[in-house]
C-alpha cells in the first residue's frame, strides 16, 4: 500500500495532549476532506489515518462521512479487497474538491495568523 | 465499559430503530460491521476496536441529530422540528440555554402574533357590523365618536389582523429555515458526549446485590429524571448490579434488598435534584442496572422524565411493568427465550419502541393518543396485535401498551 501523507490539518504541537473536543470537531471535516483529496479511502483506513494525528472517538467519523455524502461532497463505491467482503470506498466529488481547496486555504491562513500571534506572545514573554 | 462487537452494534441498533428507516439503519450498521471486520483482520480485538470507536450512544445521538434535522428540512412540520430540536439537544454539550430557550421564546412570540392577528380578524368584522348598524340608527353603545369613524377604525383593525396573520406565517417560515440552519451549524461545530479517554474514569456510584441462592427476583426501579438503562449483566455471584456513571454531581441512587421467600426483592430509587443535575455540564444523570441472566424476574420500572432503555432479550421474565413520564422508551426483547409473562407499558410523552420475540404466541393490546403507529410482523385484530408462531408449545406473552403523545414502533423479530 502506498504511504499516505498524514492529514496536515489541526496538528497541535505535542499532539496526543487532549485537545478541546469542540475544537476537534470543527476541524474534523477539513481533515477528512483533505485525506480523501489525496486518494480514495475505505472507512477503516480513513479513521486510522485521522486518529493517528487527532485523538477523537473514531465512531464519530462515520456520521460525518454520512453527512458529507448527503451534502454531495463525497460519493461511495464498493471495491473487492484481497481478503474478506468488498469494502466501501469514499471519493470526493467535484464540489467536494472545491470545498476542500477553499477550506484548506482558509485553514492555512487562519493557522498562520494564529501562529504569528502566538509567536509574538512568546517573544514578549521571554 | 468493555463492549464486544455484538454489544456495540446492538446498542446502535436499539438507539436508532424507529427513528431511522430500515435501509438507512442497515447501511449505518454495515459501516460499523465493516470497521470491526477489517480491524479484526489486522489483529485488533473487538473490545479494543469498540473502545476506540467511543460510546455507541454518542454515535447514535450524532446520527440521529443529523438525520432528524434533514427530515425537518424536507418535510416541514411542527413535529419534525420538535424532534430535530430535541435530538440536537441530545448531543448534550451545548446546554439548554443555547437552543431550547430561544426556541421556546420564538414559539411564544409567534403564538402571540397569531393570536393577536386572529383576534383582530374576528373582532374587526364584528365591530364593522356594529358601526354599520349604528349608522343605520341602531342604538349600539360603541367607543368611537361617530359612526363613520367607527367604520374606518374597524376596517383598519380587520386589515391589520389579516396583515398580522400573513406576517406571522412568513415569519414562521423564515424562522423555520433559520432554525434548521442553526441546528445544522450546531451539529457541525459542536460535538457532545465524551471522548474515549473518559472510559477510564471509575464510576463514582455503584452497588451490587449478591445472589445468596435466591430463586427469583422482584426488582422495582424508580428514577426521577435521566437516562435509565436495564440489561443483562452481572458478575457470577450477583443478582443486581448498579452503576451511575454521571452520578458525581448528583445524589446517589439508593439500593436495598429484602428476602422474599425463596427470592429477593430489590428496590432501587434514584432521586435526582433537578437543579443540580439537569443544568450541570455533564449530560443528564444516568443509571445503569444489570440483572443476572438466568433468574426469573418481575421487573417494575418507573422513570419520570428521561430516556428509558430496557434490553431484556437475554433475561427470563415473569412480569414487566413500565411507566415512563416524558422521554423516549425502548424495550427490546429480541431473541428472548425465557418463559411467558404479562407486561404493561405506559408511556406519557415521547417515542415508544417495542421489539418482541416473534416465536412466541403474543397478544399486544394498544391504546394510544397522538402520533404515528408503525407495526411490523403482527396480525391485526382491531386494537390488538397477535402472532401465531409455528411452535405451539411456546408460552404466551400478553402486553398492554398505553401510549400518550409520540410515535409507537412495534415489531416482532
CATH of residue A34's domain is: 1.10.10.10
For chain A, the C-alpha Rg in angstroms (whole number) is: 16
Residue with cell 477510564: B200
**Which residues of A make CB contacts under 8 Å with B?**
18, 21-22, 24-26, 29, 42-44, 47, 51, 55-60, 62-63, 65-67, 70, 83-85, 87-88
CA distance B100 to chain A (A): 20
Whether residue B113 is contained in a domain is answered as yes
Give me the number of domains chain B comprises: 2
Same domain, B213 and B157: no
Whether residue A13 is contained in a domain is answered as no
Q: Is residue A106 exposed (0-12), middle (13-18) or buried (19+ Cβ within 10 Å)?
A: exposed
For chain B, the C-alpha Rg in angstroms (whole number) is: 27
Query: Mean pLDDT of all residues in chain A?
Result: 78
Query: What's the confidence (pLDDT) of residue B144?
Result: 65
CA distance B36 to chain A (A): 9
Q: Is B58 on the interface with A (CB under 8 A)?
A: yes
Whether residue A27 is contained in a domain is answered as yes
CA distance B405 to B75: 20
Same domain, B79 and B217: no
User: By the 8 A CB rule, do A57 and B54 touch?
Assistant: yes
3-state secondary structure of B288: strand
Do the Cβ atoms of B38 and A56 come within 8 Å? Answer: no
pLDDT mean over A94-123:
86
Whether residue B17 is contained in a domain is answered as no
Same domain, B69 and B181: yes
Residue at a domain's end among B178, B201, B224: B201
Whether residue B121 is contained in a domain is answered as yes
Task: State the helix-helix crossing angle for B56-74 and B46-53, rounded to 10 degrees.
Answer: 50
Query: What's the confidence (pLDDT) of residue A34?
Result: 92
Q: Is B389 on the interface with A (CB under 8 A)?
A: no
Residue at a domain's end among B152, B183, B201: B201
CA distance B124 to B163: 13
Residue with cell 411542527: B78
3-state secondary structure of B6: helix
Residue A111, domain extent: 21-125
- Assigned C-alpha cell, A56: 477523537
Same domain, B307 and B383: yes
CA distance B244 to B311: 17
Whether residue B13 is contained in a domain is answered as no
- Assigned C-alpha cell, A114: 494564529
Whether residue A6 is contained in a domain is answered as no
User: By the 8 A CB rule, do B285 and B227 touch?
Assistant: yes
Give me the number of domains chain A comprises: 1
- Assigned C-alpha cell, B100: 431550547
Is the pLDDT reported for residue A90 higher than 90?
A: yes
**B92 contacts: CB under 8 Å, gap ≥ 6:** B61, B192, B193, B283, B284
CA distance B229 to chain A (A): 21
Same domain, B220 and B368: yes
Which residues of B are less than 8 Å from A21 in CB distance?
Answer: 93, 191, 195
Same domain, B111 and B222: no
Same domain, B141 and B187: yes
Whether residue B29 is contained in a domain is answered as no
Same domain, B339 and B403: yes
Do the Cβ atoms of A66 and B63 come within 8 Å? Answer: yes
Same domain, B190 and B228: no
**B197 contacts: CB under 8 Å, gap ≥ 6:** A18, A55
Query: What's the confidence (pLDDT) of residue B143?
Result: 66
Residue B359, domain extent: 204-412
Tens digits of residue pLDDT in B33-60: 999 999 998 889 998 898 888 888 888 8
Whether residue A2 is contained in a domain is answered as no
Least CB-CB distance to A70: which of B41, B62, B70? B70
CA distance B96 to B101: 7
Query: What's the confidence (pLDDT) of residue B79?
Result: 75
Same domain, B136 and B240: no
Residue with cell 423564515: B174
Whether residue A16 is contained in a domain is answered as no
Tens digits of residue pLDDT in A14-71: 333 344 555 666 688 889 999 999 999 999 999 988 888 877 788 888 988 988 998 8
Whether residue A1 is contained in a domain is answered as no
Whether residue B378 is contained in a domain is answered as yes
- Assigned C-alpha cell, B87: 435530538
Least CB-CB distance to A18: which of B59, B193, B197? B197
Residue at a domain's end among B201, B233, B260: B201
Whether residue A119 is contained in a domain is answered as yes
Q: Is B411 on the interface with A (CB under 8 A)?
A: no
Phi–psi pair at B220, nearest 5 degrees:
-120, 125
Whether residue B23 is contained in a domain is answered as no
Whether residue A11 is contained in a domain is answered as no
Whether residue B47 is contained in a domain is answered as no
Q: Which residues of chain B have pLDDT under 50?
A: 93, 95, 191-204, 246-250, 272-283
Pairing status of strand B316-326 against strand B373-376 = unpaired
3-state secondary structure of A124: helix
Query: What's the confidence (pLDDT) of residue B142?
Result: 65
CA distance B375 to B382: 13
pTM higher than 0.80? no
Do the Cβ atoms of B41 and A83 come within 8 Å? Answer: yes
**Where do the DSSP E strands lie in B98-253?**
206-210, 217-225, 227-232, 238-243
Cα B149 to chain center, whole Å?
A: 56
Least CB-CB distance to B191: which of A22, A51, A67? A22
- Assigned C-alpha cell, B391: 411452535
Query: What's the confidence (pLDDT) of residue B283?
Result: 47
Amino acid at each position: 500500500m502506498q504511504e499516505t501523507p498524514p492529514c496536515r490539518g489541526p496538528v497541535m504541537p505535542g499532539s496526543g495532549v487532549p485537545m478541546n473536543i469542540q475544537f476537534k470537531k470543527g476541524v474534523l471535516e477539513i481533515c477528512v476532506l483533505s485525506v480523501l483529496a489525496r486518494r480514495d479511502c475505505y472507512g477503516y483506513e480513513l479513521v486510522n489515518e485521522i486518529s493517528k494525528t487527532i485523538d477523537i472517538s473514531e465512531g464519530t467519523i462515520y456520521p460525518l462521512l454520512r453527512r458529507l455524502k448527503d451534502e454531495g461532497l463525497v460519493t461511495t463505491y464498493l471495491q473487492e479487497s484481497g481478503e474478506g467482503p468488498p469494502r466501501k470506498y469514499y471519493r470526493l466529488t467535484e464540489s467536494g474538491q472545491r470545498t476542500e481547496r477553499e477550506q484548506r486555504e482558509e485553514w492555512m491562513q487562519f493557522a498562520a495568523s494564529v501562529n504569528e500571534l502566538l509567536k509574538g506572545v512568546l517573544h514578549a514573554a521571554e | 465499559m468493555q463492549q464486544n462487537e455484538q454489544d456495540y452494534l446492538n446498542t446502535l441498533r436499539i438507539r436508532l430503530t424507529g427513528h431511522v428507516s430500515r435501509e438507512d439503519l442497515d447501511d449505518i450498521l454495515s459501516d460499523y460491521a465493516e470497521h470491526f471486520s477489517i480491524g479484526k483482520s489486522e489483529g485488533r480485538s473487538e473490545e479494543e476496536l469498540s473502545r476506540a470507536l467511543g460510546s455507541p450512544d454518542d454515535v447514535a445521538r450524532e446520527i440521529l441529530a443529523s438525520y432528524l434535522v434533514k427530515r425537518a428540512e424536507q418535510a416541514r412540520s411542527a413535529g419534525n422540528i420538535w424532534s430535530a430540536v430535541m435530538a440536537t439537544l441530545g448531543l448534550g454539550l451545548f446546554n439548554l440555554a443555547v437552543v431550547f430557550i430561544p426556541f421556546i421564546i420564538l414559539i411564544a412570540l409567534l403564538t402571540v402574533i397569531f393570536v393577536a392577528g386572529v383576534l383582530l380578524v374576528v373582532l374587526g368584522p364584528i365591530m364593522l357590523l356594529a358601526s354599520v348598524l349604528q349608522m343605520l340608527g341602531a342604538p349600539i353603545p360603541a367607543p368611537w365618536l361617530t359612526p363613520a369613524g367607527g367604520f374606518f377604525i374597524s376596517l383598519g383593525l380587520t386589515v391589520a389582523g389579516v396583515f398580522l396573520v400573513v406576517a406571522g406565517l412568513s415569519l414562521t417560515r423564515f424562522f423555520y429555515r433559520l432554525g434548521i440552519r442553526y441546528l445544522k451549524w450546531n451539529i457541525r461545530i459542536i460535538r457532545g458526549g465524551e471522548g474515549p479517554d473518559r472510559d477510564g474514569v471509575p464510576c463514582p456510584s455503584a452497588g451490587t446485590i449478591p445472589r445468596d441462592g435466591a430463586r427469583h427476583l422482584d426488582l422495582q426501579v424508580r428514577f426521577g429524571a435521566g437516562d435509565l438503562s436495564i440489561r443483562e449483566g452481572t458478575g457470577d455471584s450477583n443478582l443486581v448490579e448498579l452503576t451511575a456513571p454521571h452520578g458525581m454531581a448528583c445524589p446517589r441512587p439508593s439500593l436495598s434488598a429484602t428476602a422474599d421467600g425463596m427470592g429477593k426483592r430489590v428496590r432501587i430509587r434514584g432521586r435526582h435534584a433537578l437543579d443540580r443535575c439537569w443544568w450541570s455540564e455533564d449530560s443528564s444523570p444516568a443509571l445503569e442496572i444489570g440483572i443476572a441472566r438466568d433468574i426469573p424476574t418481575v421487573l417494575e420500572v418507573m422513570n419520570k422524565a428521561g430516556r428509558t432503555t430496557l434490553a431484556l432479550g437475554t433475561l427470563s421474565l415473569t412480569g414487566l411493568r413500565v411507566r415512563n413520564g416524558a422521554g423516549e422508551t425502548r424495550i427490546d426483547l429480541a431473541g428472548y427465550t425465557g418463559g411467558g409473562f404479562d407486561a404493561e407499558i405506559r408511556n406519557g410523552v415521547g417515542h415508544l419502541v417495542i421489539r418482541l420475540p416473534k416465536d412466541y404466541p403474543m397478544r399486544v393490546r394498544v391504546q394510544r393518543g397522538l402520533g404515528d403507529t408503525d407495526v411490523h410482523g403482527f396480525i391485526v385484530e382491531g386494537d390488538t396485535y397477535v402472532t401465531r408462531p409455528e411452535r405451539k408449545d411456546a408460552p404466551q406473552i400478553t402486553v398492554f401498551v398505553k401510549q400518550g403523545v409520540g410515535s409507537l414502533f412495534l415489531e416482532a423479530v
